[in-house]
Amino acid sequence: MQNDHPDVKFGKTGVLLINLGTPDSTSWWDIRKYLKEFLSDKRVIEVNPIIWQIILNLFILTFRPSKTAHAYKKIWRKDTNESPLLYFTKSQAEKLNIKIGNKNTIVDFAMRYGNPSITSKLNKLKNLGCENIIILPLYPQYAAATTATVCDEVYRSLMSMRWQPSLQVIPHYESEPFYINALTESIENKVESISWKPDLIISSYHGIPKKYFDKGDPYHCYCHKTTRLMREKFTSINIETTFQSRFGPQEWLTPYTDKTLENLPKKGVKNLLVICPGFASDCVETLEEINIQGRESFMENGGENFDLIPCLNDNSSHIDLFAKLVTKYT
């Protein structure tokens, strides 16, 4: 009997790590393309879309790409010609695949904005025979502008599939013991490596507009929860929460990181460490905004010592955390 049934791969599980995204290069056009996609997301910018598109295309996308390109050029990895975020996210997926991958489990990564896209990687996993896909948004503290928009794009991608895989999403992990342990271990390692004693540790998270919090977004609470758990485990130096990267004239979550760094020396805090627990990988927000701009502001206003604790990146403790999260769903 002739078998004319098409060859179909099935029976595997895919794990997709998803981070925010990155421009393809530091060129003006690549930066503009990336910003246009990012700032056109209605989860990120919750204003009248018609008015916003006029503002975005006539003003922001005319002037902001040059400023953003300048920031990226300062931290761009010349050895691999890619952003640090892309480099580390790729490495995280490779190392997690080594740790948990096998003939029935495949680990990959995607970006919410830019390349590689969520749709392309979901299709790749599906074509490799993944009937079940686990989505791990690399945002420890859930927010609508991060985790929810990842889910939106995943669901849109599935709408075009005739045979959809089953789907599981890991929504947040702000209080996972492996996560808190990895963060406090990174603090301890940095404190041991420097020759001065910090007066304070700032735990800086990406901010969101205050009105998002007022509408019920739990992000603010998750950030403070992470800081509280770090403080309970690492007790020798006080840890305080701040919020960075605000954009536009409206009020965002406070206290603002940039204003805090400017004012701390005037309050007697001369020796400062900063950690950014909400970022799974070092990126322009940590390496340029905090470690360059923030450092300059702190030192110019009377600070004496400043250092940034690296993100967990592709450290073994971070990969162990990912493995722990994923195995709950496999």
pLDDT means per 10 residues, the chain with 330 residues, are 67 97 98 98 96 97 97 98 98 98 96 98 97 98 98 97 96 98 98 98 98 98 98 98 95 98 98 98 98 98 98 98 92
pLDDT digits (tens, 9 = 90+) for 120-158: 999 999 999 999 999 999 999 999 999 999 999 999 999
Q: Across the beta sheet with 12-22, what order do the strands follow? A: 105-114, 12-22, 130-137, 166-169
Whole-angstrom distance, CA of residue 34 vs CA of residue 22: 7
Whole-angstrom distance, CA of residue 138 vs CA of residue 76: 21
Whole-angstrom distance, CA of residue 192 vs CA of residue 124: 44
Q: What average pLDDT does the chain have? A: 96
Whole-angstrom distance, CA of residue 148 vs CA of residue 169: 10
Whole-angstrom distance, CA of residue 284 vs CA of residue 123: 29
Residue 24 DSSP symbol: S
- Percent of the chain residues past pLDDT 70, beyond the cut: 98
Contact yes or no for 134/107 (Cβ under 8 A): no
What are residue 205's DSSP bridge partners? 243
Give the up-direction half-sphere exposure of residue 313: CA atoms within 13 A in the CB hemisphere.
Answer: 16
167: number of Cβ within 10 Å: 15
Residue 266 DSSP symbol: G
Contact yes or no for 162/197 (Cβ under 8 A): no
Whole-angstrom distance, CA of residue 19 vs CA of residue 136: 9
pLDDT digits (tens, 9 = 90+) for 67-88: 999 999 999 999 999 999 999 9
Amino acid type, 187: I
What are residue 117's DSSP bridge partners? 111
Domains of the chain: 12-172+317-327 (3.40.50.1400), 177-308 (3.40.50.1400)
Q: Is 139 left (phi over 0), alpha (psi -120 to 50) or beta?
A: beta
Whole-angstrom distance, CA of residue 269 vs CA of residue 301: 11
Give the CA distances from residue 276 to residues 70, 113, 273, 312, in Å, rounded to whole numbers and listed in that order: 22, 21, 10, 9
Q: Residue 125's pLDDT is what?
A: 98
Q: If residue 310 lies in a helix (H) or strand (E), which one and from where to where?
A: none
Give the CA distances from residue 133 to residues 121, 198, 324, in Å, rounded to whole numbers and listed in that order: 11, 44, 16
Q: Residue 2's pLDDT is what?
A: 56
Whole-angstrom distance, CA of residue 22 vs CA of residue 188: 30
Dihedral angle sign, alpha carbons of residues 193, 302, 239, 144: negative
